[in-house]
Amino acid sequence: MKLTKYAHACVALEKDGTRIVLDPGTFTPDAKDAVTGAAAVLITHEHFDHFDDTLLAAALEADPELRVFGPRAVLDKLGDHGGRVRALATGDTLDVAGFTVAVHGERHATIHADIPRVDNLGYLVDETVFHPGDAYFAPEVSVDTLLLPTSGPWTKLGEAADYLRAVKPRQVIQIHELMLSELGRQSTRTFLAGLTGIEVALLPSGESVGL
């Protein structure tokens, strides 16, 4: 399986000539390129930096084979498009485009007591790579590659370190890092690796890695 990193929280996973995309939001300038030709899109939650409803509505109209999955809010905003948009919940599993997906977690991390917590789903793809969305939720399963959010109003380095210790992945790739400068990304990488002994990779937008 090949993982391609796009800006912010968006990644594409590809194998056997088929591609799925996770969290193409408005903070991802090349989200349209990521989605075009994809067999399916998985959305962790409804926030605009993860879910561009205008982009996905147009993509669904342009590609009659495209399918979109996410929490109920995604279905509510897009409509079902003849059953091609489907709401998921924690505990669900699905087979899509040759990939197996297990759904973990329920709620977005707390930003502030005054801000409601929306539904947030984490996706474990092919029992290998886990995208947690905006939450430090540790699934009670083995994770080889963890996509780790490292910036945003809800993140905290100390909690991120404890999260890595709880998940114990073989490797970590930073995502959701757009609000950090290059120095901040490197400092985060050094801090977390020093505390956990786990290498934290920085993958520039557009670059790919084999999993």
pLDDT in tens, 113-133: 999 999 999 999 999 999 999
pLDDT, tens only, 15-30: 999 999 999 999 999 9
Q: Which domain holds residue 113?
A: 2-210
Closest CA to 21 of 55, 64, 68, 57: 68
Q: What is the CATH number of the domain that holds 159?
A: 3.60.15.10
CA distances from 154 to 176, 187, 190 (A): 11, 18, 20
Which string of b and e fits 3-21 if b means at least 16 CB within 10 Å? bbbbbbbbbbbbeeeebbb
Dihedral of alpha carbons 187, 191, 193, 194, sign: positive
CB 201 within 8 A of CB 174: yes
Distance CA 81, CA 95 (A): 19
Burial class (CB in 10 A: 0-12, 13-18, 19+), 27: buried
Distance CA 57, CA 77 (A): 9
Instruction: Report the domain count for the chain.
Output: 1
Which of helix, strand or coil describes residue 152?
coil
pLDDT, tens only, 146-205: 999 999 999 999 999 999 999 999 999 999 999 999 999 999 999 999 999 999 999 999
Which band of pLDDT confidence, cut at 50, 70 and 90, is reported for residue 60?
Answer: very high
Closest CA to 8 of 33, 38, 34, 29: 29
Which band of pLDDT confidence, cut at 50, 70 and 90, is reported for residue 41?
Answer: very high
Distance CA 175, CA 155 (A): 12
**pLDDT recorded at residue 54:** 97
* Token pair in block for residue 121: 């789903």
